[in-house]
């Protein structure tokens, strides 16, 4: 009878480990890629591209593609001027110094 309790505990522990690994995986991946870029002296934000995708535009484009609106060009993004990308804040601050 006591053996049932032990295997139950083991099963719970494995289940908890799998759950924790599943939850932590994306965060660990993002952390590792950021630290890799940092070790290569690349920008952790943009990977030394100097620009990052405009978040306002990418969300707007996704919405427009769904709606199929032809009026998208009438409203250039105030954030990036319709270039759909903005200077990386980390790189621009680094260049200013
Ligand atoms: Zn934009
Ligand atoms: Zn950057």
> What is the distance in A from the centroid of ligand 2 to the CA of 50?
5
Instruction: Look at the pTM and tell me if it is higher than 0.75.
Output: no
**pLDDT tens-digit profile of 7-16?**
889 999 999 9
- Residue 79, burial from CB neighbour count under 10 angstroms (0-12, 13-18, 19+): middle
CA–centroid distance for 41 within its chain: 19
Q: For residue 54, which of 76, 34, 21, 22 has the smallest C-alpha distance? A: 76
* Environment of ion ligand 2 (residues, CB < 5 A): 43, 45-46, 88, 90-91
What is the domain partition of the chain in residue ranges? 1-41, 46-97
> What is the distance in A from the centroid of ligand 1 to the CA of 87?
11
> What is the distance in A from the centroid of ligand 2 to the CA of 9?
47
**pLDDT tens-digit profile of 45-74?**
888 889 998 887 766 554 554 454 555 455
Ligand nearest to the CA of 37: 2
> What is the distance in A from the centroid of ligand 2 to the CA of 1?
61
């Amino acid at each position: 009878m006591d053996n049932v309790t032990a295997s139950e505990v083991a099963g719970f522990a494995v289940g908890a480990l799998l759950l924790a690994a599943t939850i932590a995986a994306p965060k660990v991946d993002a952390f590792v890629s950021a630290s890799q870029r940092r070790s290569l002296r690349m920008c952790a934000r943009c990977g030394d591209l100097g620009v990052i995708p405009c978040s306002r535009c990418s969300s707007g484009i996704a919405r427009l593609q769904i709606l199929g609106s032809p009026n998208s060009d009438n409203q250039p993004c105030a954030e990036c001027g319709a270039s759909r990308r903005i200077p990386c804040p980390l790189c621009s601050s680094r260049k200013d110094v």
